[in-house]
Amino acid sequence: MDSSKLDPLKQIALDQFVIITLPSEKCKIVELKGNTSVSLGKFGAFHVNDIVGYPLGTKFEIYYDSETVETIGGDEPVKPNKKNKITKVNIGKVRIVEKDTKRDDGLDNVGNSHNNKELINLGSDIQKMTSDDIEALKKQSTSANEIISKIIESHGTFDKKTLFSQEKYLKRKKQKFDKQFVVNYLSANLLLQYLIDKNDIQRIMDMSEESIGMLLNLANIRPNGTYLCMDETGGLLIYFLLERMFGGDDTTGATGKIVVVHENEHPNFDLLKYSNYSEKFIAEHVIPISILEYFEPRTVEEVELDFKPLSREEVSELKSGAKNTYFRKLKWHKIHLQAIDVATKWVYDGLVVATTLHLPTLLPQLGKRVHGSRPIVCYSQFKEVLLELSHTLYDDLNYLAPTIIETKCRPYQSIRGRIHPLMTMKGGGGYLLWCHKVIPAPEPELIPTESVPNNDKGDTVEK
């Protein structure tokens, strides 16, 4: 790899999409452009140049000192009725947060007590600082920890709270005043997380990370396979496949291809724009074909009626304008010819489907060009849809053991001594149907060729 360049898989690079986690745990997707700045709304703003080159995953903190006067329009809409309505955000400086503040930091220097008997009211009267005081602090102060320490100092009964409520209080305050943010690589995982948090569930067919992870493994996705795919999630599923096959960039030299059957005139791969792959790379490895082209391919003769490649001499005689048109048409001609091969000649190493088309009619058709022994995995938001499909495949001798699978990740509060499942979690996440393509044998003749059982060696004999 070229070590004189930033590696966008490891380092924060320019012209790259990254995902920024805000103190509120919300996320924001940003394309990093040199010499510009990024506003995180109420959390502040920073210069892109200040973060470039640091490793992805670095945690930064925005701070302000006397030199920082620049502002940028705040694009994070903040509830308008609040008095801290933001129209302009000061661009601060950033520093690296070396040690990720541990949960109980800040508690160490405050006397804490294990009883809250004396606590009657935790209301604002205990807090001696007014919100104006706090606002003033925010303007001048450097870090959230300092603000919080000041608030705690002036909090008359902080040490009367139980350790537990102290921590809750700190977490709430920290989220409010923290100016720390993490810049992460925009993996398919995080893109999915982002869309889920944004409640774009329908757009991504309610897929969960665990369902996709399982789909990729069950489909045995490898760097060198040729896969047939339908993706109704705007390219998210393809992004997952590409990451699994090529690892996020163009450098592995792997040869795999994904043929994507789509329903419209043009495929919708919107979400791929967030990836690091070049257009050329995508064009080489992701081959879209409409469902009509796939199932009713044109013949080579038909394609050649539309366009006939010229001989080398004929091309050299074209004027430059005509030459350009010619090469553009030639490119399309090649794509049309490839589409015929894709539909009639290619054999697939796996079939991966996430579509709302009627599966019992679609899948046996798509399965035709899948090689024997290769896996087929079908995703659906609804179990009933896969149930119908499984009955259809069960009656079809070309598919072995269709199985409906559900996988669910249950997150825990992961604090020592207080480990328990979170009180709520996302429902949904979808279902998978997994089977293998097989080749049925003709009925054997009644008299078998004499078999000599070889008992002295090897194979397990069933009882």
Partner 1 sequence: MSQFTEYKDLIQEGDIALIWISRGNIKAVTIDSKETFNTRYGSFQHSDMIGKPYGSQIAIRTRGTGRFAFIHVLQPTPELWTLSLPHRTQIVYTPDSSYIMQRMNCSPHTRVIEAGTGSGSFSHAFARTVQQLYTYEFHPVRYEQAKEEFKKHGILDENVIITHRDVCEDGFTIKPTDTTSAQFSEEEITSGMKQLNATAVFLDLPAPWDAIHHLDKVIATDEQVHVCCFSPCIEQVDKTIESLENNGWTQIEMVEIQGRQYESRRQMVRSMEDAMQRCRDIKRRKKEGIEKKQSLIEREENNNTTSTNTEHTQREPFTEKAKFNPFGKGIRVKEGDPGYKWKQVTKIESEIKSHTSYLTFAIKLVDKTRNETLVQECLNETK
Q: Which 94-133 residues touch partner 1, going by CB under 8 A?
A: 96, 98-100, 102
Q: Could you give phi then psi for residue 197, rounded to 5 degrees? A: -60, -35
Please say whether the beta carbons of 395 and 165 come within 8 A: no
Check residue 391 for interaction with partner 1 (CB under 8 A). Answer: yes
3-state secondary structure 231-244: ECCCCHHHHHHHHH
Cβ proximity to partner 1: between 69 and 461 the closer is: 461
Alpha-carbon torsion (279, 283, 285, 288), positive or negative: positive
Residue 20, C-beta contacts closer than 8 angstroms, at least 6 positions apart: 27, 28, 29, 30, 38, 40, 181, 182, 183, 184
Q: Does 451 bind partner 1 (CB under 8 A)?
A: yes
- Farthest-apart Cα atoms in the chain, separation: 97
Q: In the complex, what is the shortest distance from the CB of residue 104 to partner 1, in angstroms, rounded to a whole number? A: 10
The residue from 40, 144, 204, 245 that contacts partner 1 (CB under 8 A) is 245
Q: Does 187 sit near partner 1 (CB under 8 A)? A: yes
Q: Does 23 bind partner 1 (CB under 8 A)?
A: no
Residue 57 backbone zone (phi > 0: left; psi -120 to 50: alpha; other: beta): left
Element (H, E) at 227: strand 226-231
Distance CA 264, CA 279 (A): 21
171 touching partner 1, by CB under 8 A? no
Min CB(365)–partner 1 separation in Å: 18
CA 64, chain centre distance (Å): 34
Binding mask 249-268 for partner 1 (x = CB under 8 A): x--x-x--------------
207 Cβ neighbours under 8 A, 6+ residues apart: 192, 233, 236, 237, 354, 379, 381, 429, 430
Q: Binding residue for partner 1 (CB under 8 A) from 132, 280, 427, 461?
A: 461
Q: Looking up tokens 């669910």, which residue turns up? A: 408
Q: Please, what is the minimum distance in Å from the beta carbon of residue 124 to partner 1?
A: 33
Q: Interface residues for partner 1 in 293-332 (CB under 8 A)?
A: none
CB of 320 to partner 1, least distance (A): 31
Instruction: Please state the closest distance from residue 86 (CB atom) to partner 1, in A.
Output: 28
243 binds partner 1 (CB under 8 A): yes
231 forms part of the interface with partner 1 (CB under 8 A): no
Kindly state whether residue 145 participates in binding partner 1, applying the rule CB under 8 A.
no
Q: To the nearest whole angstrom, how small is the minimum distance from the Cβ of residue 180 to partner 1?
A: 12
Binding mask 348-387 for partner 1 (x = CB under 8 A): -x---------------------xxxxx-------xx--x
Q: Which one, 74 or 429, has the nearer CB to partner 1?
A: 429
